[in-house]
Structure formats: C-alpha cells, structure tokens
Chains A and B, each alone.
Chain A
Amino acid sequence: MKLAIDRKFVPLMVTIGLFILLYIYGIVQYKGFSSPQVFLNLLIDNAFLLITSIGMTFVIISGGIDLSVGAIIAFTTVFSAFLLETMGWSPAIVIPLVLLIGVGQGAIVGGLIHYFKVQPFIVTLASMFFFRGMCFVISTDAITINNEFYRAVALLRIPIYGKAFISVNVVIFLVVLVAAMYLAHLTRFGRTIYAIGGNEQSALLMGLPVARTKILVYTLNGFCSALAGVVFSIYMLSGYGLNTVGLELEAIASVVIGGTLLTGGVGYVIGTVFGVLIQGLIQTTIMFQGTLSSWWTKIVIGLLTLFFIGLQSVFASANRSRMAARTQKQAPSPAADAGLAANAAKQ
C-alpha cells in the first residue's frame, strides 16, 4: 500500500528545480553560458566548498553544527605552505599530516560536545578562533606554494569531452561524493547518523552506538575540511590566514538549500552538492551580468537560506499538527487510516 510522495523529498526537488531554472535563465540571458565548460567550472572553482559541505552535511544530519570549517581550511593552506616552502618538506609527508590534524581536531571537538554536553556551535566557534589565530601565528603574510608536485597537479587538465576539462580537485571531490553517498545509504554508521539526528534519545534506547557515532561524525567532518584545505592549496597555490573567511556559513547555507533539515535527521549529500552549485551559479550569473557587484551574492544566499529554513519550518509545523491530531488523547476518533482500516474490516 503506497502513501503519497514522502514529504521529505520536496525540499530536495525544489533545490534541483531551482538549479535547473537558474541555469536555463543563464543560458537564455547570456551568450556563452551554454558552454559545457561553464558548468564544469562550477565544479572546478568550488571543489573545496563541495568537499567541506559534504562533511558538514553529515554533521547537520546528526543534529549538530560545525562553525570551524573555514578556519580549518585556511589553517591547512597556511600550514601546508609553511611546511612545503619554509621547511622544505615533501608533499608525501605534508598532505597526510594536515589531514591527520583535521581528523584530530574533529575527534576532540566531537568528544567535547558529547561528553561535556556543550552546544556544538560554541565548541566549534572556539575551534574556529583557535585555528584562525594559529594561521597568523605561523605566518601573517601569504605564502606562495612553489612546490613542483602541487604546481603540476594544479595545472593538470583532465579532458572530458571535446574542449571541456576538469581539474584533479574535481576528481577528488567526485571520489568524496561517492564515498559519502555510500556511507550515508549503505552503512550502519551512516544510518545511525540519521537516527541520532531524528531522535537521539530513541537512538540510545534502541541500542545504537550514539557516543561513538557522534564523535566519528565530527572526525569525518574534520577530515573533509582538511581535505578541502589541501584542494584549496592546490587551487590557489598559496597559504593565507585570510582565506575562506566566512566559508562555514556558505557551507551551512549549501546544506540548508540542499534540503537538509537544520534540526537533523533528514538530508541528502546530493542535495548539498546542488546547494553549492546554486551558489556558484548565482555568482557566475552575476559575473556574466557584469554590473552587479559580487556582494549581491551574499544577500541572495542569505535570503535563499532563509527561504529554505522557512520552508523547513512550515513542513515541520505541518507535520507536528498532523501528528497532534493523530495522537489524540482519550476520545476515540473515526479516523480511517491506511493499513489498519482494511484489516479491521477483515475481522
């Protein structure tokens, strides 16, 4: 017996629809927009945001939040640049090291959040401050990366079709995307994340490993932001403490626009991808437009985020009143609900 389309898909469909609409608008309005490279550039230019937003998706699905990702990315770029250029270390050591730092940070943050029962936003806010500061402790100026390996990777163009190409960063992103989707839908770990986001108390009573999963989620996110930092270092070929300021908000906006509920429990990694792409698309459109300044992007993103939050809020209260009407106290009601009525009639 099938019920109506599950409501939780609606925000995702709205997002994808919005992306398509925007894209069509761009193609119609501007010459050159229809070039496939325009789309691929969205991926190339936003690979780092895509990767870290994927990590953020898991955190938000679990019911938490992480405000430190921008700082971790910046720190990763600065520390990498420092180790590569000033210390002359090899990328083979540097890259695993910075990833490890990201992982370590995530584990500590996750542990503090779970065991001290402190609100995630303040722990991660402190972490953000910490890593921003550490950027400047290492170097107040930007450090250019001249390392051969990095340069080679940065310049590599992987042809896709005709003249269209993507960068190594996009490949990294695609690997992360596939891994994330696998985690989310095919592993017990991923499903536990959804369960915790849905109702942590219930998840606990159902015997799920809540503590371990929560800490792992933040650890995973730490890894993703560090990886995004590596990708960003390759993309910009420099390390600078003022990089990616405010990126956490862009990541959160992407996640929200992508259909993930801020309250947790519902969300799709692919939705987040579209959330990022929409942001990139708005930026590209404004660039093509030529006259509007880029800060309009911020306002539009802010309003879009609000719109989607509002959408989520409306669905949430609609669900709540539906549930309240169903969970009637005492007085029996002649409700003819699917599944039961038919069987009751069989008696």
Chain B
Amino acid sequence: MEDNCILTMKGISKAFPGVQALSDVDFSLHRGEIHALMGENGAGKSTLIKVLTGVNRQDAGTIELDGKEMLAKSPLQAQALGISTVYQEVNLCPNLSVAENILIGREPHRMGGIDWRALNARARKILTWLDVDIDVRQSLGMYPLAIQQMVAISRALEISAKILILDEPTSSLAVHETAKLFQVMRKLKSEGMGIVFITHFLDQVYQIADRITVLRNGNLVGAYTTAALPRFELVAKMIGRNLTELEDMSRFRAETGRHIAGEVLVEATGLGRVGFVEPLDLTLHAGEVLGFAGLLGSGRTETANLIFGIDKADSGSLKINGAAVVKHGPLNSIHQGMAFCPEDRKADGVVGDLTVRENIILALQASRGWFKFLSKKKQYAVADKYIQLLSISTPNADQLVKNLSGGNQQKVILARWLATDPKILILDEPTRGIDVGAKAEIQKLVLVLASEGKGCVFISSELDEVLRTSHRVVIMRDGAKVAELAGDEIDEQAVMTVIAGG
C-alpha cells in the first residue's frame, strides 16, 4: 500500500502562544481516495491543513508528497506543488465571471489581448467535465455557493492538483447540491486524485469517505477504514470520555436537581429561523441548568442567538419572565435579566483595546444607559470582585484585555455577564480554550448559580461537561431539536446515540 500513498505526514507538532495545537500527529492520504478528517473545535484539523498548505510551518515532523520531502512556504507554493484547497468561504472573486475565476492569472491570449472566446470555452469544458452546466460569462456572485464551490474546484483542477482539500464544503449546501458535490468527488477520485474531506456531518462521512482520521485536542485518535468503524464508536472517539475526573460534579448536580424551582423563565414555542433553526419548543426554569448537546454546527448557537435577540426569528413566539417579548434585542434582553456569553469571544465578546475593568462593567453599564455612569470606584470594586471570584490572571484591572491569554479573556467575558446579576444565563462554549482546572471551576459555578435560583443554558461541544452540569439536556442535530432528556434519562450512551443518529 506504500506506493499508493500520495501524501504522508509524520509526527506533526505545532504550538501557538498558549496552546499546543498539534502533538505528534500522523496523516496519510492515498491516491484515488476520499479521506475524511474529523474532530471537534480545537481538535487541530485546521492547523493540520494550514501546515500542509504552507500557511504555517510545523515545529516538528515531516511531510512527504509523492515520496519526496515537501515544505511549502506559502499557499501559492503548495498550489504549485499540486495541493489545492477549497475553503468554506470559497475565496474567489464574486465580481468576476465564472470563467475568469477559473482561469485568471493563466488566461489564454491572442494578438496582445485576452482571448475571451478561448477563455470561456476552456472554462465551459472543465465545468462540463464536472457535469455542471452554467453560463460561464455571468458573475460568480450571481450563483449559489454550491456552484461557486464547483468553480473553485475547477480552478484547482486547472492548476492540476494532485490533492484536493475540501474544508467544510457541505455546511451550506442543500441535499441535492451535496449529492452533486459527491458525484464530482467520486469522479475526481476515479481519476486518481487524493481528496481530504473535512466535515462534521456524520451521514456524509459514511456516504462518501473511504477512510476517516479523528483528531482530538491536538492529538491523533486514529485513522480508520470507514466500513470498519461503526457510527457510535466514531462519535465516542470524537467526543472523548473523561468522566473519571470529576464524578463529584454528578453528585452535586443530582442534589441540586431536586431543588428545581419551576418558575418558567424562558418559553419558546415554535421558534425558528429559516435556514438556521427548525421551529422548536423550549422551556427554561429557574434553578435549572439546561444543556445543549450536539455536534458543531447543529444549531445550538443559532438557537441561543434567537433567544437573546441577536437574530430575529422567522416563526414562533418567545416569552421571557412570562411576558411576550417586544422590541427584541440584546439591550432589551439584558433589561429582562438575561445574559449571553457568546461562542466567538474574539469577534463578539472581547473588546481588546479596553481594559479588564472596562470589559467587565461593559454590559452592566449598557443596561444603565448613557447617563447613569458607574463611578470609577464602583467600576474597580466590581472588576476586583470578579477578578478574584473567577481567579482571572492579570496584574491589575487596567491591563488591556487583548494581552490576556485566551482562557483569561473568556473569564473576563463571563465576569461581564455575571456582573449584570442576571436571572437567565446563556453560556455558549464558556469553557473553550480554558485549562482543565478552570473548566471545572466554571462548571461548578454554573451549578451554584442554578442553585441560587437562576436559569442557565449551557452549550458545549464537550459532551461530558454538558452531562455533568445539566439537569435537562436538549439534543440538536442539523439545525433541529431532536430530543430532550431529563434527570435519570441523561446518560452518555443515550445522548451519543441520539447525536449519532443513524
């Protein structure tokens, strides 16, 4: 089988300041195979690809392409060597025509100018080979993402790629578009191309992938033949099972679980948003922790966004504290006693150039409006209180937040929301990027808050965390709520079975 290997990556390690993204990871790709690369957020998939395509340089390990050692210093070099990537955002120019996108930089010329006729003909030829029939003269932006992906693939083919990397290509595709993509992939595979397929959709992996490599927390879990790996086992390997560490959490939860107050804080009926969340029902009671389980991209964050008011729902109704919501939006939600710790702390959470103190009191101040300004003394008091409570590692409250480590930044965001003394707390991946000890602290904190009568929504990709802290668990898959388990029903096996679907 060795000669059939077009790509061999051995012992790849890569560290970024504060986090070991990859440790000693192997990855191999055969000619004419579709190889799925899987793992949850932070597993290291994108880092592995970045190392392969020359965006980053590995700290250790070797890469061999076609038997020869390879070191790409830039994506362009990688392209020249035959490795092409089609990203989720496609990375083409929507204002140029389809044909141009495929051939720009290598246009056929005639008598000193671009030969448009030849250009269009060549583009048409490639697309026809891929079984795509469109007007290549129209701007790319006029076509749906599925077609744009085909164009990106065509460009890769034009540059004669040996290896094609598809990064989450199906996240935004309809069923028939995905089918079409698979058709193309199979064709390319039959031509001997090696395809790396990064995805979190289990169904699709079983439909199209020959082999699967699973990464978790920067480590290689293993490489398997698809046919030989049952779904359930795959999910288990992706999610990991570290229940041993904190068994007392389950005990704590079991105790507090008996004290659920029952007052309904949030009631969603048929709440949905076309293209993002299928209409669902949800209730959150005071004194309980409602966990959201599901794989990446299952719609948990989108649901949270709907509840907090970041996005507007297309259907259904939402009642907060018993009253229908009017003028939905972050500020209104804060006034209702809601807090939302967002998933993407860099884009939506942290205000980097402001100090720790300012970040912490931000939402609290927003709820008071423009004129009821918190005195500096009060600001420091609040900031200091939470720096201590959450053990935020910072020399003082005037440190700029962008200089803090990721984990501490997360704690600052959490502090911001705790400072508003909310009744309802929505936490989206609050433990991401935090060290193990701190993770446990936060989970315990969530339970404590619940025991104080607050209602918490706890979203995490770490299944064991969700299981440990939640009184009830909502399981989401592909944008829809598929199950809800409570109390004794909450069982690792049960949840994973539901997530795995199949």
Contact = CB atoms under 8 A, between A and B. Distances in A.
A342 B147 CA distance: 13
Contacts of A329: 171-172, 275-276, 297, 299, 302, 479
Interface string B75-91: 11001000000000001
B134 A187 contact: no
Interface string B156-194: 000000000000000111111111100100000000000
Contacts of B132: 339-340, 343
A202 B172 contact: no
A337 B146 contact: yes
A330 B138 contact: no
Given A206-B104, A208-B104, A334 B174 contact: yes
A199 B92 contact: yes
Interface string A310-344: 00000000010001011111111111011111111
Interface residues of B, number: 54
Interface in A151-197: 182, 185-188, 191-192, 194-195, 197
A6 B299 CA distance: 34
A43 to B, nearest CB: 26
Contacts of A194: 93, 95-96
A265 interface: yes
Contacts of B395: none
Contacts of A332: 173-175, 178, 478
Contacts of A327: 144-145, 172
A199 B138 contact: no
B474 to A, nearest CB: 15
B104 A191 contact: yes
B93 A3 contact: no
B453 to A, nearest CB: 34
A199 B142 contact: no
Contacts of B107: 188, 191
A182 B138 CA distance: 20
B155 interface: yes
B305 to A, nearest CB: 11
Contacts of B183: 347
A1 interface: yes
Interface in B327-349: none
B459 to A, nearest CB: 15
Given A326-B144, A328-B172, A1 B133 contact: yes
Contacts of A188: 104-105, 107, 114
B96 A3 contact: no
Nearest to A346: B131
Nearest to A329: B276
Contact of A197 (B95, B143, B172): B95
A1 B76 contact: no
Interface string A288-330: 0000000000000000000000000000000100010111111
Interface string A1-19: 1110011100000000000
A201 interface: yes
A198 interface: yes
B180 A343 contact: yes
A21 B91 CA distance: 41
Contacts, number: 151
A280 B389 CA distance: 69
Given A319-B141, A329-B172, A199 B94 contact: yes
B100 interface: yes
Interface in B288-316: 297-299, 302
A343 B133 contact: yes
Contacts of B369: none
A205 interface: yes
B139 interface: yes
Contacts of A207: 76, 79, 105
Contacts of A1: 133-135
B66 interface: no
Interface string A105-149: 000000000000000000000000000000000000000000000
Contacts of B155: 206
Contacts of B172: 326-329
B147 A331 contact: no
A129 B499 CA distance: 64
B176 A203 contact: no
A266 interface: yes
A318 to B, nearest CB: 12
B492 interface: no
B18 interface: no
A2 to B, nearest CB: 5
Contacts of B478: 330-332
A330 B297 contact: yes
B499 to A, nearest CB: 14
Given A182-B113, A187-B113, A331-B480, A205 B75 contact: yes
B278 interface: yes
A198 B133 contact: no
A287 B174 CA distance: 59
Contacts of B143: 337, 339
A205 B79 CA distance: 10
A201 B91 contact: yes
A335 B275 CA distance: 11
A331 B278 contact: yes
B114 A186 contact: yes
Given A203-B93, A337-B146, A340-B177, A191 B114 contact: yes
Given A1-B135, A339-B147, A340-B180, A331 B479 contact: yes
A339 B133 contact: yes
A191 to B, nearest CB: 6
Contacts of A199: 91-95
A329 B113 CA distance: 42
B298 A330 contact: yes
Interface in B43-101: 75-76, 79, 91-96, 100
Nearest to A343: B131
Contacts of B276: 328-331
A203 B276 CA distance: 30
A130 B79 CA distance: 44
A329 B276 CA distance: 6
Contacts of A331: 274-278, 299, 478-480
A191 B100 contact: yes
Contact of A6 (B139, B146, B171): B139
Contacts of B134: 1, 338-339
A29 B179 CA distance: 63
Residue with the greatest number of chain B CB neighbours at <10 A, chosen from A3, A186, A331, A342: A331
A184 to B, nearest CB: 11
Contacts of A208: 104-105
Interface in B406-426: none
B129 to A, nearest CB: 13
Contacts of B141: 319, 323
A185 B302 CA distance: 43
Given A206-B155, A329-B276, A337-B144, A195 B133 contact: no
A344 B180 contact: yes
A299 B333 CA distance: 44
Contacts of B177: 337, 340, 344
Given A329-B302, A337-B143, A342-B133, 17 more contacts: A6-B142, A188-B104, A199-B91, A206-B91, A206-B104, A206-B105, A206-B155, A207-B105, A323-B145, A327-B144, A331-B278, A331-B478, A332-B175, A332-B178, A335-B144, A337-B146, A343-B133
Lowest 7 A-B CB distances belong to which pairs? A186-B113, A328-B275, A198-B93, A330-B479, A265-B95, A198-B95, A331-B479
7 contacts: A1-B135, A6-B142, A188-B114, A195-B93, A325-B275, A329-B276, A335-B144
